[in-house]
């Protein structure tokens, strides 16, 4: 029974997780009707599993038109589940990208301000060296203000750099996969790698659950057939036909009623008495 229970429970677990991802993903595709989409997606997932199990066990008894409609419906339900999973995982990736992108934008703004402040500082230092008697005081104040601005910008950028390193560590694995598949110069090389990973997950997720359910039904049918088959009765070995043992009457001649016919008795000299 382990060969039935284990594939069945695995199929149910995979289907449950796929249903969760799919329902949430479909609800995100249609955000205006969250709960109706959730209810519809959940019922469709249950209907898909029931249809697969019923169709496998009643394949020969099912009308051809009904049989192929069920197959088509299961295929489309698997596609719907796959679309929901794709939407859910894509949204998770986009949310990470939004955080990383916002952090990167703040860092770039601070870097631009630093660049402007450094150029201003260089200009003030150059200006202070040209005419130190007239503008020394004003220039010194401006230089001190610019240096304070640079320090403030550096202090603002430091936590952002730490956060960016932490975010890059989270997306590090997919980044390495993307670098192995695509050129780093491509601005969308990480997004392309994420799509491939999601498609691979989709291919082995819901179809595997359906096939495991069919496998569990197949194994259960075999076990049920073996249990229901009546045991064969032990057949006794037939005794070999034996020749009947000679009776007392067989020693008599049926006509003469003698134990031994006279003609069988020979005289010593060979003559019959």
User: Sorting pLDDT into bands at 50, 70 and 90, what band is 272?
Assistant: very low
Q: Is the pLDDT of residue 252 over 90?
A: no
How many C-beta atoms surround the C-beta of residue 55 within 10 A?
A: 18
State the first-to-last Cα distance of the chain, in angstroms, to the nearest integer: 89
Q: Which residue has the higher pLDDT, 117 or 239?
A: 117
Sign of the CA dihedral 60, 62, 65, 71? negative
The segment with the largest mean pLDDT, out of 3-7, 25-29, 62-66, 125-129, is 62-66
Q: Does residue 125 or residue 119 have the better pLDDT?
A: 119
Q: Which domain holds residue 22?
A: 2-228
Q: Which of 61, 16, 72 is nearest to 213 (CA)?
A: 16
CA 231/CA 249 separation, integer angstroms: 49
Question: Which is more confidently placed, 234 or 222?
Answer: 222
Residue 48 lies in a domain: yes
Domain membership flag for residue 240 = no
Structural domain contains residue 242? no
Q: What is the mean pLDDT of residues 233-237?
A: 53
Q: How far is CA 49 from CA 45, 91, 93, 206, in A?
A: 7, 27, 29, 10
Instruction: Look at residue 7 and tell me if it is in a domain.
Output: yes
248, pLDDT greater than 80: no
Domains in the chain: how many in total?
1
Higher pLDDT: 149 or 271? It is 149
Q: Confirm whether 169 is domain-assigned.
A: yes
The tens digit of pLDDT for each residue in 128-187 reads 665 555 555 666 677 677 777 777 877 777 777 777 767 666 666 777 778 788 877 777
Long-range contacts: 56-63, Cβ < 8 Å, 24+?
56/214, 56/217, 56/218, 57/217, 57/221
Is 66 a residue whose pLDDT tops 90?
Answer: yes
Angle between helices 2-29 and 64-130 (to 10 degrees): 60
What is the pLDDT averaged over residues 103-107?
75
Q: What's the rounded mean pLDDT across residues 240-260?
A: 50
The reply to whether 253 falls in a domain is: no
Residue 272 inside a domain? The answer is no
Tell me whether residue 110 is in a domain. yes
């Amino acid at each position: 029974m382990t060969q039935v229970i284990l594939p069945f429970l695995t199929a149910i677990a995979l289907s449950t997780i796929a249903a969760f991802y799919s329902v949430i993903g479909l609800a995100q595709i249609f955000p205006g009707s969250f709960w109706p989409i959730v209810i519809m997606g959940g019922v469709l997932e249950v209907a898909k599993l029931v249809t697969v199990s019923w169709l496998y066990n009643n394949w020969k008894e099912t009308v051809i038109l009904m049989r192929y409609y069920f197959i088509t419906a299961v295929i489309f339900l698997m596609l719907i589940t796959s679309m929901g999973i794709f939407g859910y995982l894509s949204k998770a990736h986009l949310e990470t990208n939004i955080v990383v992108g916002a952090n990167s934008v703040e860092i770039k703004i601070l870097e631009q301000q630093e660049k402007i402040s450094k150029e201003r500082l260089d200009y003030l230092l150059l200006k202070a060296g040209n005419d130190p008697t007239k503008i020394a005081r004003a220039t010194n104040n401006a230089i001190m203000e610019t240096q304070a601005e640079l320090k403030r910008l550096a202090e603002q950028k430091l936590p952002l750099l730490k956060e960016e390193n932490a975010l890059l560590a989270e997306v590090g694995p997919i980044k390495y996969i993307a670098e192995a598949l695509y050129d780093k110069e491509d601005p969308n090389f990480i997004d392309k790698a994420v799509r491939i990973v999601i498609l691979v997950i989709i291919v082995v997720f819901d179809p595997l659950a359906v096939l495991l359910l069919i496998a569990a039904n197949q194994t259960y049918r075999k076990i049920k057939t073996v249990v229901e088959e009546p045991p064969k009765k032990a057949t006794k070995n037939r005794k070999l036909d034996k020749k009947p043992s000679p009776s007392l009457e067989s020693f008599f001649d049926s006509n003469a009623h003698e134990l031994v016919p006279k003609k069988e008795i020979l005289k010593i000299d060979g003559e019959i008495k």
